[in-house]
Amino acid sequence: MNPTRKILLVSTTLAAALSIATLADANGPRKTRQMREEIARYEESNERLKAEVATLRHELELLQKNGDPRALERAAREKLGLVRPGELVFNFDR
């Protein structure tokens, strides 16, 4: 038998055996679907985090380079909880 033919026969047999083993596992297709769903959730989470990082970078740029007083005040209020003298702060729990 030709060596190339032997390699082809062994490869085909191995592929068939793996296919049968995968189909024989009752949880195989279910696991695949679950893993694809999990990957989709992680990809969505990554997109949200990328957007958040972009927003934070933009805010940092405003604070560092431009010295935008409105951005500085907003950051001081939101991040540090600072208020102006005489202001009243109402905190509502969600």
Q: Which residue has the higher pLDDT, 70 or 55?
A: 55
Token readout for 76 is 């001081």
pLDDT at residue number 19: 81
Tokens of 14: 């191995």
Q: What is the pLDDT of residues 21-35, one digit of tens each?
A: 777 776 777 888 899
Q: Give me the pLDDT at residue 26, please.
A: 67
Planar angle of CA 46, 66, 58, nearest 5 degrees = 5
**Region for residue 91 given its phi and psi (left: phi exceeds 0; alpha: psi -120 to 50; beta: otherwise):** beta
**What is the pLDDT, as a whole number, of residue 59?**
80
